Every structure is written in C-alpha cells, then in structure tokens.
Amino acid sequence: MNPSDLVGVYAAGSLEGSTPVVSSSLIDQVRDHLPVVGSRPVVLGAGEQGCLLRCLAVVPDPRDPRGVRHELAPMLAMAVAAVLSGARSFYAVGQWVAGAGQKTLRTLGARQDPVTGRYAGPDEATLRRVCQDIDADAVDLAVGRWLAGRLRRRAAARARVGRRPTRDARRRKAAGQRRTRRRGYTPTRPGLAVDGKTVRGARTGQSTAPHLLAAITHDGIVLAQQQITAKSNEIPAFQPLLTPLDMAGWVVTADALHTQRAHARFLREVKNADFVLPVLENQPGLFDQLDRLDWKQVPVNARTEQRHRGRHEVRTIQVMPAPVGLRFPYVAQVFLIERKTTRKGRTAYQAVLYVTSLTTQQATPG
C-alpha cells in the first residue's frame, strides 16, 4: 500500500482537502455516529486505549530518533481517533488533535510537558509527515489485530451471558421481574468475507487507483487488507492476507475467484476455519460435477421472501451431502441457491452452486 494513502484508506475518502472538523471529544463524536451504523456504545476507557497503544507500538518508526518529541504509537492513535471522529484531511486531523481535551490526550498517550504538566499533541505538519512516511501495511496489521481482539472479547462475553434478551424480557427485567437465562445457547459462529475493491478517488497522475484485498467481518469491520500489485491478482494475496489472523472457529466466505483447492486446504489445515464458496465456470470440472447432480429430486430445505422499495426477492436453498469423489477438499455439504427478483414488473432468475466444509450439525439450511 502507498504510505500516503494511509489515512485516506481509514477515512474512506480523500485526505487532500482542507475541510476542517469541529474539535470535540472523541467520546462525544463516536457516540454521535453510533445511531447511524446501528452499533452499541463503545467503551473508550484507559484499558481499551492502552490496548490500542500496545498494538500500535509494533509499527516501526521511520523518523530519525534524534530530536523526536512525540512517540509514534500515540501519534497514530490520535490520527485513528480523529478519523473516527470525522476527519477527512491531514489538516482536519491536526485541528482535531489541537482541540482535544486533556483527558483525551492523556488517554491517547500524548506527551506531557515537564514544566506545566499539561498534555500536548503534535502539530499538523508533524502528523502529515509521519503519516506519509509510515509503513501503511504495518499500521493495517496493528489496527486489525486490535479490532480482532475486541471481537474475540465481545464473542466471549456473549457466550458467557447468552443470547441478547428479547424486548419483552427486557421489559420484565425493568419491571423488577426475574428473568431466567436460556440454557444450551450456542453463539453464532463469526463470519469473515474476503473481497477486493479498488479505492475510489485514489488515482494520481503517476499511478492507477490501488486495488485492495480485504478481510471484513460480516459486521463490516476490516481486520486486514493488502494491496494487489499491478501485474498480479487477488489469488496469490489470499493466504498472506489471512496468515496473521487468529481464525479458529471462523467461517470464511469469498467470491468464486477464491474457490481454490489450495485456499480450502489452507483454511482447514492451517487456520482451523471453515469456508462457504460459490462454484462457477472458473472451476469447470467441479462445476460440472455439481451441475450434473439430480437437484430436481432434492426438496427445498428453506425459503426466504423479502420486499424492499419495490423489490421483491424470493430465495430458496436445496442442500445435500457432498457426493463421493468430489474434486474439492474438505467439502461436507453442497447446496444450490435460487433467487427470483422482481422489480418494476421485470423478473430475473439466478442460480448459484456452493460448497462448504460445515457439517449438518454446524449449519442448517436456514
């Protein structure tokens, strides 16, 4: 990844503008954005920020150690906090740091003046220079590990507590009535999607827009991303992208480009993860094997129907055990999903074959 694209990637937009943002507390800004994404409140205590600082501490510092006043990890943490608060330019990041309160600066590890005892962050020029010279891939890896750690702790907490209570149960609890905990609850297995996208607005006169392969949770959190070189494609970057991640118990989904035997072996044998992959004509032998199966004799195992803004979509799924002699490793089930979409009086049909390593006990058709 181009180092100059670092903050732009995390901001999901170009940072060459100069539009300032209103300086305010990180906690207030994040809380204001939460209803938009539908997330629950984030605890931004010293423990969580300390964890972020520890993860960022492994990023190599490109500066000459002589004359360094601000440590690298706190500077990167401030840049991340500013982007989360809405900063979309280096100028806006510097303005956010300049307007941050003492509690926020102390939590993010800012430098403390030995005379006055006040905390102060770096100026905009220092932040700009560091963000342009830093190893962006190392920052990606560090932030991804921090996010993965938060996801693991959240999953462990949900497993201990059990399923989130229904609205009626919460009302009974508010009224002082005792709520019994559900027994035998098995948390949903986390899902990870591997997908590649070209970064919009990042093309320059000397180079094309970078193409990134990202590992994204099904909740929309990017755990890792890697730039694809100009003379390559996404397939060789699949395993290096997922190698640093702890994926035991995860379910990986990807498009048909990554329906590769080597990828399936890597996920099952090395990462202890499962996969759900579509099968198209890029794997002709495997596709012919699945297409020749007698799907007409397989009953529809599950069905969903959805209406949204004039779009009517009906999905059905037919599932059967993996046939003997299938030319793909670690497949436990194969299934066919058919979609019928009607919009503005026009109806479109689509049928896609899939393979998965999940057994019938691990995943039902629904």
Among 94, 111, 134, where does a domain finish? 134
Among 134, 169, 204, where does a domain finish? 134
Q: Which residue has the tokens 């007409």?
A: 296
Q: Determine how many CB atoms are found less than 10 A away from the CB of residue 247.
A: 21
**Is residue 233 assigned to a domain?**
no
Q: By residue range, what is the domain housing residue 106?
A: 3-134
pLDDT, one tens digit per residue, over 97-126 is 999 999 999 988 899 998 999 999 999 999
Q: Which positions of the chain have pLDDT values less than 70?
A: 1-50, 159-187, 201-207
- Cα separation, 327 vs 278, whole angstroms: 14
Q: Which residues pair with 348 in a beta bridge?
A: 341
**Is residue 15 assigned to a domain?**
yes
**Is residue 80 assigned to a domain?**
yes
- Sheet with 274-279, edge to edge strand ranges: 222-228, 211-217, 191-198, 251-254, 274-279, 346-356, 333-343, 311-321, 302-308
**Is residue 211 assigned to a domain?**
no
Among 134, 152, 185, where does a domain finish? 134
**Is residue 207 assigned to a domain?**
no
**Is residue 224 assigned to a domain?**
no
Q: What pTM was computed for the model?
A: 0.70
pLDDT, one tens digit per residue, over 57-106 is 889 999 988 888 999 999 999 998 999 888 888 999 999 999 999 999 99
**Is residue 287 assigned to a domain?**
yes
- The total of structural domains in the chain comes to 2
Q: Which residues pair with 326 in a beta bridge?
A: none
Q: Give the chain's mean pLDDT.
A: 81
Beta strands in the chain, from DSSP E residues, in sequence order: 111-112, 119-120, 191-198, 211-217, 222-228, 251-254, 274-279, 302-308, 311-321, 333-343, 346-356
**Is residue 120 assigned to a domain?**
yes
Confidence at residue 210, expressed as pLDDT on a 0 to 100 scale: 82
Q: What are phi and psi of 121, to 5 degrees?
A: -95, 170
At 159, is the secondary structure helix, strand, or coil? helix
Written as six digits, the tokens of 184 are: 């035998």
At 310, is the secondary structure helix, strand, or coil? coil
Q: Which residue has the tokens 């480009």?
A: 257
Of 165, 7, 145, the C-alpha closest to 84 is 7
